[in-house]
Amino acid sequence: MRKTGKKVKFLKGEKFMYLLLALLVVAIPVAKVCTQAILSESNIKVEKLKKDITKQQRYNESLSMKISELASLENIENIANELGLSYNNDNIKTVSE
């Protein structure tokens, strides 16, 4: 006895379902890889911005300390003495209501 090979016929709906299934099997992993790549790129940018912010904060702190140093009373008095200015309490006027 010999078995004869019958060709399997698919219905139109079955063909569409198999095609859709094959597309999903390929598309889902590709989409996942793409979204992971985008997420990684965004994370790299965020870390770079955090680093830049930290660097700018340190720079701002150093400038604040420099301003405080230059605005100190001793420094102002030294500069005033170098320029020939003197402190005279009689020249100070106060305003009151």
CA 91 to chain centre: 54
84 — alpha (psi -120 to 50), left (phi > 0) or beta?
left
- Annotated domain spans of the chain: 12-83
pTM score = 0.57
Q: Contact 75/69 with Cβ under 8 angstroms?
A: yes
pLDDT tens digits along 38-76: 999 999 999 999 999 999 999 999 999 999 888 887 888
pLDDT tens digits along 76-88: 888 888 888 876 6
Query: Pick the residue with more confidence: 27 or 74?
Result: 27
Return d(Cα 64, Cα 58) in angstroms, integer: 10
Q: Contact 54/61 with Cβ under 8 angstroms?
A: no
